[in-house]
């Protein structure tokens, strides 16, 4: 089936700046995301940079990862940072009770994470242990990371090889406190947040950006009750800079066994996420105004596809290892497109996760490290960063029929279209309102099989290919195959 679709890009109708942080990532101690994925160890025969998988570092550096969240996730509320510092052969072996009871030698800790961030150019975002930790443990971690010198903790960091402070700005106070982070009520979490956040210090000129646990999906009851409790009975409103919701796109099939109906069902979640962002943003604005405090950023610091797991795959590759397919590439475009369309409402969004687990940019198997279809989507769409998002007019549902976002600078308009339907071909006719069309170049990600993927045997099956859209008068005409992405670069004379 082929359908024709008009699109108008309103070049002078600005939404807001597309912050690079909207393209953030997440790394947890889960399955082989960290151990065996990004971290292979200093003595590994796999090429590495001080224990970090060299090929992964190379690919992530090219991806220009803007921010990386660590060590969890649920694992964060079980992680004690002192276990992961000092000489590697003297670090304790601990049990990851959060994810499968695996034994960790703590070879990947604070210094290794900061080194990874430095190598790939990412800003570190540390999720601190509130569930099983203490305010003093979090305070000490901040001081260890950020104080230039003069204290015993700063001297300890220097003795461990980091003379300059890490300057970590983003600090999460707990994670999913409504579930794995303590099964708390909003009122209980508000009390813990107020206490923990009080003791996070400014060190070395780095003012902490404090992130509170937001809702699961669009749980407005959690948001309302949390902010009500935070503002009730206290002489001062605790510092809060970001509020982080989690919103996964759950699937009902194993990764390479999706039917058209199952794809449509999973993609419908993106309409829900866009509605959640709009509604949660309104709550944050209302609370900040009532409390007389600066606006609070809305974050989506865990998002992405979550498919059914297969035991055979997990036995071979680790917990929640998920084969990344063309469907995931399109899902990534659906997510980033909606973040661009709501750029004025968001401060950060982190795709879960960066290697091997869930909606990953990279997959590893032994020595091999593959760039997934999602990786190639992110590479194309990084062109939107630090540009002004502009409004789109289209008659179609953005997650079920045709998803579009556009951004501009003084010379070019960049447009990303995602056709999420696995059975419908779309011929789009795009016009620019407020500018004329100059040269047009583009790339496409597509395949005849919606379950197609990159593998060790065929690592380049799903990659962008150049396309040449037709410029017909005042319109750009292009045909999008089912389940495909079209990325256009338009010169505006």
Which residues have a catalytic role annotated?
Answer: 176, 302
Residue 417: name the closest of 9, 65, 2, 15 by CA. 9
Residues shown for the chain: 493
């Amino acid at each position: 089936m082929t359908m024709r679709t008009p699109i108008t890009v309103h070049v002078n109708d600005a939404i807001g700046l597309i912050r690079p942080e909207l393209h953030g990532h997440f790394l947890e101690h889960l399955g082989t995301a960290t151990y065996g994925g990004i971290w292979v160890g200093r003595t590994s025969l796999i090429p590495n940079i001080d224990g970090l998988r060299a090929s992964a570092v190379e690919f992530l550096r090219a991806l220009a990862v803007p921010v990386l969240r660590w060590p969890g996730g649920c694992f964060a509320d079980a992680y004690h940072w002192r276990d992961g510092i000092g000489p590697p052969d003297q670090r304790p072996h601990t049990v990851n009770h959060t994810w499968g009871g695996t034994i960790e030698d703590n070879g990947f800790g604070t210094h290794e994470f900061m080194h990874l961030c430095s190598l790939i150019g990412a800003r570190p975002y540390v999720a601190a242990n509130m569930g099983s930790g203490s305010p003093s443990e979090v305070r000490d971690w901040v001081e260890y990371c950020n104080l230039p010198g003069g204290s015993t903790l700063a001297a300890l960091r220097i003795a461990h090889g980091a003379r300059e402070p890490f300057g970590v700005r983003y600090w999460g106070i707990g994670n999913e406190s409504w579930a794995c982070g303590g099964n708390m009520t909003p009122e209980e979490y508000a009390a813990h947040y107020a206490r923990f956040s009080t003791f996070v210090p400014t060190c070395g000129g780095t003012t902490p950006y404090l992130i509170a646990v937001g809702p699961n999906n669009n749980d407005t009851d959690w948001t309302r009750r949390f902010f009500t409790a935070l503002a009730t009975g206290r002489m001062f409103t605790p510092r809060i800079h970001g509020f982080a919701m989690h919103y996964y796109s759950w699937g009902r099939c194993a990764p390479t066994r999706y039917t058209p109906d199952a794809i449509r069902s999973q993609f419908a979640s993106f309409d829900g996420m866009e509605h959640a962002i709009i509604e949660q943003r309104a709550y944050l604005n209302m609370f900040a105004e009532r409390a007389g405090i600066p606006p609070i950023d809305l974050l989506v610091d865990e998002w992405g596809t979550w498919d059914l797991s297969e035991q055979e795959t997990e036995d071979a590759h680790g917990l929640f290892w998920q084969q990344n397919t063309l469907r995931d590439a399109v899902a990534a475009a659906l997510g980033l497109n909606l973040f661009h369309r709501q750029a004025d409402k968001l401060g950060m969004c982190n795709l879960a996760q960066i290697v091997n687990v869930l909606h990953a940019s990279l997959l590893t198997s032994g020595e091999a490290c593959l760039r997934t279809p999602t990786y190639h989507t992110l590479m194309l769409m990084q062109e939107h960063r630090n540009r002004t998002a502009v409004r789109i007019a289209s008659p179609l549902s953005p997650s079920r029929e045709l998803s579009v976002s556009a951004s501009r600078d003084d010379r070019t308009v960049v447009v990303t279209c995602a056709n999420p339907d696995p059975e419908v071909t779309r011929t789009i006719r795009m016009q620019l309102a407020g500018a004329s069309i100059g040269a047009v170049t583009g790339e496409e990600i597509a395949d005849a099989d919606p379950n197609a993927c990159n593998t060790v045997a065929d690592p380049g099956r799903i990659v962008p290919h150049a396309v040449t859209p037709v410029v017909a008068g005042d319109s750009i005409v292009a045909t999008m195959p089912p389940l495909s992405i079209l990325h256009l670069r338009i010169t505006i004379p």
